[in-house]
A and B are shown apart, each in its own frame.
Chain A
Amino acid sequence: MSSAAETKSELPGQQEKGERFAWTFPLALLLPATVLMLVLYAWPFVASIYRSFLTTEEGLTLANYQKAYELYFRDVLFTLEVAILSTAIAAVLSIAISTYVRLANNRISRYVGFLYRLPIFIPFVVVGQMMRTFLAPHGLLNVFLAQVGLVDLNAPLQLFNIYGLVLSFVWKQAPFMTLIILGGFQMIDDAYIEAARSVGANIYHIIVKVLVPMSRATIAVAVILAFTSTVGTFTLPFMLIGGKVPTTVTVDIAHRVTYFGDYGVANALGTLSYLMVLVTAIYYLRYSVRKGIYEA
């Protein structure tokens, strides 16, 4: 942010012209993208907060929050439960996969290092459809578990609820988190791992004392991005549990808008979802802006 001051020149003539060009040119290159983001992102973002305090009768009040609290408090908690639970499980799973790929240097681990990535770009709408068939009362998972003798098909596992939702989020987020965390693990020099091994460390110790502490910042970024994306995802809960109670805040927002045209309460819920990720968002933004965007 200080570069504006640095490039400003007091010199007259040619030099000044060159210097001024030196910072108006990159700004001109950035102008279309910045204007678009201001109009299509920043403005509606601010508007969503402003409108959450707006009611048609009384002007600025907390009425929308009052109503959101009365109608959807359970769903706010549900959203947090789903996001915390699935991020935690996905974090453990992705650290396990990353450790395996990092330490076991054989053909199978190389296959794993490739295959785990397959879900990364599969969109939520496809994950939703997949899980609807996979987790259904007579879907593939229940049928499989029944074949193994773990489930009675007359009383199958009911999974169109928090369990199925968490499983689906883990399926989608863990590979993405593994991509980031494994990147961090691979930056760690073999020498540290060898040193730990030579003093008798087992796998658990290597994970807890070497791999995880040395990639703390990377793991934090993976956790934050997965958490934020889980809180804000509409598609998957919408397809998997829809309007059932409890459901996520994102489904409630859509419900408020499409059935009632009630933007006040929808925006109050939206602002609440900003608050849910506020701490992680601040950490992420500070980290990324300070560090630049190019190093993982």
Chain B
Amino acid sequence: MTTMTPKRLLLKSLEAVFLVFLFFLIFGPMVGLVLWSVAIRWFWPNALPQEVGLDYWSQALGFQKSLAIGAVSITEAFQTSMIIAVLVVVLTMVIAIPAGYALAKYAVPFRGAILFLFLMPLAFPQQPVFVNLLLTFTRMGLTSTIQGVVLIHLMVSLVFAVWISSAAFKSIPPELEEAARSVGASKMRAFVQITLPLAAPGLLASAVFVFLTSLDEFTGTFFIGLPFISTLPMLLYASSGSNLQFASVIAIVLLIPSILFMVIIERFLRGEHIAGVG
């Protein structure tokens, strides 16, 4: 055993302080959310709620009817969110998979211009785009409709979906498809039987990511969907001023899939493709 020199001791202490600080920084806000979602009575200056229970959870999830002012059930918004998210996943993937494949495997003409178009939403604020789509959508009667919100979510997710699918195809050695072709498989057959199954995990990750993007989308839905299309994020915003407990419950409902996804997706994670989520 070597004894610690003062310098080493100082470094170790700094490390410990850094870690404790980091721990509080990451988990402090999350803990607040969980406490509020189960707080039945919590008046300051109490550090912790005086009475806890799952009342607000069971009311929000619709197990228990509540007549309290400001009480909301999230079941309807949950259904709306799910319908929209599923539609968005299907449409986005149908459009993104061919595009991602083309970008990964072919020397496409105007490649630079197309890359530019698909990268622009990451490089510039998107809110002005939503604002101007609001004008167009109003003229076409698409505001406050499911179709309108699906189109907005489709635009927001398409960029990520194309990049992640494209990366999935790119990672497959072209020799495999060529080998299949050389023994007489058609282009289509080589794609369906060789490339697609190999790319499946990446494509699945992409689809789940699109699902999450749609589930969490706020700004576009705020401009295009309100007042009639109320997704979970909209309901969370609406109740956050008046009812902290319900808002906290909804926030946790949205938080759980985000964290689960984070844990599962690790392997496919590439920072640049996920900028500006939410």
Contact = CB atoms under 8 A, between A and B. Distances in A.
A125 B216 contact: yes
Contact of B47 (A125, A143, A224, A277): A143
Given A33-B96, A36-B155, A179-B269, A126 B251 contact: yes
B56 to A, nearest CB: 14
A254 B277 CA distance: 19
B115 A153 contact: no
A4 B112 CA distance: 11
Interface in B116-167: 116-136, 151-152, 154-155, 158-159, 162-163, 166-167
Interface in A67-102: 96-97, 100
A150 B31 CA distance: 20
A122 B18 contact: no
Contacts of B155: 36-37, 40-41
B218 A123 contact: yes
A192 interface: no
A179 B259 contact: no
A210 B67 CA distance: 63
Contacts of B30: 130
Contacts of B101: 29
Interface residues of B, number: 100
B199 interface: no
Nearest to B255: A126
Please provide the 6 A-B residue pairs with the shortest distance between their CB atoms, ordered closest to farther.
A232-B125, A270-B128, A123-B278, A123-B216, A4-B109, A180-B271
Interface of B: 11, 15, 18-19, 22, 25-26, 28-33, 35-36, 44-45, 47, 95-96, 98-99, 101-103, 105-136, 151-152, 154-155, 158-159, 162-163, 166-167, 170, 212, 216-219, 222-223, 233, 236-237, 240, 244, 247-248, 250-251, 254-255, 258-259, 261-262, 266, 269-272, 274-278
6 contacts: A7-B109, A30-B99, A34-B99, A130-B251, A138-B45, A270-B131
Interface of A: 1, 3-4, 6-7, 22-23, 25-27, 29-30, 32-34, 36-38, 40-42, 44-45, 47-48, 51, 96-97, 100, 104, 108, 112, 115-134, 138-141, 143-144, 146-147, 153, 171, 176-177, 179-180, 183, 203, 221-222, 224-226, 228-229, 231-235, 239, 250, 253-254, 257, 263, 266-267, 270-271, 273-274, 277, 280-281, 284-285, 288-289, 293-294, 296
